[in-house]
Structure 1
Amino acid sequence: MDCLNSLGVRPSAALSNAGLTWQDLFDSRRMVGFSIFRRFVAYGIQSTGEPALGLMAGSMLQPYHTPVGIGAVTGKTLGQGLEFLSQHASLIFGSFRFRLENGSRWSTLEVKPLRHLCETHIFVIQSIVGSHCRLLEAMLGRPADELVVGLPYPRPPGDGGHCLRYVRKVEFDGDCLRLQMPVELLRLPCASEDAEVFAEASKVCERVDAELQDGAFVQRVRRFLLQRLVSNPGASELASDLGISARTLVRRLAEAGVSYADIKEDLRKTHATWYLQHTELSIEEIASQLGYSDPHNFGRKFKHWYRVAPSKMRRSLRMELHDCPPTAL
């Protein structure tokens, strides 16, 4: 937002174009969908006319704003800071995998996308480069003039000068993003070295990593259960399908703050409304799809969830669908 504002673009206009509000940005429970992100990036580049918008946005990063940045800049040496960054950078850029390899001449941080990013690919790559430059500057206490950047896209029209505003040496047409520093620099002390702060940042990042792993396990349980919901499997049966014991299933879900019953009820609740709105299945057939042998039990549960009967909810949802035109992406 600061980047857009500095280029004369009102952030509120960019948010509105993407279908967002300021409140959405402060709502930690809301995940911004990729289609919204695509609209936001497209509007930003079009309205600013700036081909290096991602580089500018990344370079405006304040390293001390995240535990990842704090750990990187307070390491004992540049090498320790880069190692920390490679281990935890995915907490910031979750769609990428980071791997650090130290050779005889170069320390190379490879960055590869985990999914297709469509037309936002260059913007996000630039953002990573810009933020990396900013972190290196904070670690060294000076500009990282030795940095060599290998970009995974062709040289843009002209001389590619917008990249050279931030990096002295740039190479194009690589198979992935590569950020290289001479290996002899790894022994240099970090300008903001602080063992106590580094240790605390490490604990925070490790805890967040563990929470994300728990989240991935919960999503795996949800996916397996959804595929078998019609048969209403118990915890022991699903655990067997997952290749773990029922005790392990219950324990790991408890560590993530949920229970098997919570997950099953949430799947039934959300998919009940989807079936009502998007299919012609009868109430009895929907009950069966959700694992209810008795449709009356489903009806009572549905009223408990939504304070309205399924048939009435279906009429209401169909009216909303008819009244709201599709949104162009």
Structure 2
Amino acid sequence: MIATPFAPTKSYLLNLAHELWRRAADRMPLENILKYDEALIDALRTLKLPQPTEEASVYEVEMALSVEALNTCFDGQLALIGLPRWAQCGYPEVQLPETYAAALLATVVPDDVLPWVRAPFPAFMIEVPNALLSLDTEHGPSPVRLVMVLREPEGERWAYVAWTASSACLWRFGVKTAELLPPALPGCDLSEASIFPMAVTEHDERVASLLGRLIVNTCLAMSDPERVRQPKQRPARPGRPRGSGRSSPLPRTTVFRVGNPISQDFRPAIRDYVSGKKRTLSVQSLVAGHWKMQAHGPGYSLRKLIYVEPYWRGDSEAPVLVRPIKVGDG
């Protein structure tokens, strides 16, 4: 766990993403923003003076200093890479009902399903509902609010930064899909060099494992159009002319609402697991949700991915089977 040098509210991240994207777009081809990490950071660090007005020149220097401050720590570098890419993708934000999010956290992903995990966007945000997960800090628990997820344009490497209500955050970089779901995480994965190093507790390691599970299961859930409510079309906001100095009106996220509230409530089980009261989410009374490839079609030669929601064993309403979807043949 580390402390980030900036205030990670949604409005702050939106404004920063917008400004970083404008800065990158002024210095490199748009198609390269999603492709090259080092070139993107170099473009953002480039200082372009003089500006047409004194206000614009001051703004250019302030932005350059902000970029340099972010570039001093790993989570800041991920922000420099991820936020302009998030803007390039149209600021996609995934929102989950709280009980549905808890169900995804209680859902295991078997090895034969991992190849079907696809990121809906190269960069997107997941809003973690209502303090479902939190990090330990010296001032008490700090709820995780937003998770920025990045997927390599080519390859299967992932990265994420989880921002909380305080300066504490967790991040991972360059991990494969299966590595998002380990039973335990070595401390070096979560607390490498930073200008504000903080201790990584067992609580934080459990949260990191659940964050990986949330990312993977959200991507799987979004593969089914029936589980995703698409954003309504809205008129585009006019952009700010280049060189005009201060920021234009704050951009808005493109919200994708995934899943529906479910009758089963797994929030207590999640809290018990994170706090260490339970060693695993697969306790005696809880049957973990899971994905599986089900045979169908002529001679059962085809496969489709189905999601079995977690349920409490013996509950009269369980299990609940989500509508199956076809994701590939063979």
State the TM-score bracket (shorter-chain normalisation): under 0.3
Which protein is richer in strand relative to its size? 2
Normalized per residue, the structure richer in helix is 1
Greater relative contact order (CA < 8 Å, ≥ 6 in sequence): 2
Higher CA-based Rg: 1
Q: TM-score if structure 2 supplies the norm length?
A: 0.23
